[in-house]
Amino acid sequence: MADFLCQYLADEFDITVYCNAHKYPEQPKEYHGAKLVYIKIEANGFKGIFYDLITYVMALARSDIILYLSPVGSGYMTPLKFLSKAKVLVNHGGLNEWEREKLTWFEKKWAKFNHRVAARFSDVNIVDNELYRGSLKDNFDADSIVIRYGGDHATKIAADHAALASKYPFVKEQYAVSVVRAQLDNNIHLLLEAFEDFDRFKLVVVSNWDVSSYGKELKKRYSNRDNMILLDAIYAKDELDFVRGNGYLYIHSHSRCGTAPSLVEAMSLGQAILSFDVATNRETTEGKAFFFQDAASLKKVLLGLSDEAIAANRSEMKRISGSKYRWEVISKQYSELMNRFG
């Protein structure tokens, strides 16, 4: 989001983006006209609390408007806005972050506290899904506006691309694909269980397996199956687009997202979508995807799919993506929001 807001809005606004210096060996001062400021503190984990606080105070001193992305770790600092005249816009990220199974009891309490404070003291709360809008109202009595997430940066790359096809030869065959982080609420285990004795086509899963015991155990158990290809996380955009863009269909197994980036990117690529059945995923796909609740229902849907149904769903997902999930549209919405403050 920071990337594309810079690309579309740097000519209209004087934008500063704060960056984790440890992540960037090269540190250019500008990106598409936006200023880049590097902070020598890790932005993740416990240190991330200090990173957020320092950058927030710096922004309060320098900026008219602060766009704060995900207050799950440091929303407590939002009331510091009263030390300046800056307006604070808080994008709350995924749906009910404080309920994620991967969090400890304390982490859940801390996350909910931070969202509560941010929702109470922000000038505008932003969510990316209508379901999350209702959640903020129910949990914190906070109003919000919906601005979605873009997916049109994902680019279709033909399966006959010589260099990529030699690295990922399975694209010449029919396969289902999923790009998913290795955490319990993303339900990778359901995909693997459904494909245990499914041989109509292969399953390709791209994940950061080694970041959790959940991922490590799944990779160890399923790595040697003939009908499954388990790839480590792919960070080269052309390679990722190649793998996910040439599948027969895309399986989205997340249960705790608002508008999941991986889902709208797959929709933008014109993929047919088979999605885990929760309200947020239905809202994102306008209820037009194929849905499953568990491994058994996933396998049942897979067995019932026809080429005609897949082709029709691809067209429908592409249509929805074109109307809702384009960065040009989303950047315009952020522009209109920020211009409210003069």
* pLDDT tens per residue, range 170-189: 999 999 999 999 999 899 99
Q: Which residues of the chain register pLDDT less than 70?
A: 94-95, 342
Q: What is the pLDDT of residue 105?
A: 86
Residues 6+ apart with CB under 8 A from 101: 183, 184, 185
Q: Is the pTM of this model over 0.85?
A: yes
Q: Which residue has the tokens 């790839």?
A: 231
**Domain 162-324, CATH 3.40.50.2000 — does that match?**
yes
Q: Which residue has the tokens 């936006």?
A: 34
Backbone angles phi, psi at 330, to 5 degrees: -65, -40
Q: Which residue has the tokens 């984790």?
A: 20
d(CA 240, CA 254): 18
Cβ-contact 325, 152 below 8 angstroms:
yes
Q: What is the pLDDT of residue 95?
A: 64
Q: What is the pLDDT of residue 45?
A: 79
Segments making up each domain of the chain, as ranges: 2-150+327-339, 162-324
Q: What is the pLDDT of residue 256?
A: 79
**Domain 2-150+327-339, CATH 3.40.50.170 — does that match?**
no
Q: Name the β-bridge partners of 127.
A: 146
Q: Check if 2-150+327-339 and 162-324 are the same fold.
A: yes
Q: Which residue has the tokens 């058994």?
A: 296
Q: What is the pLDDT of residue 318?
A: 96
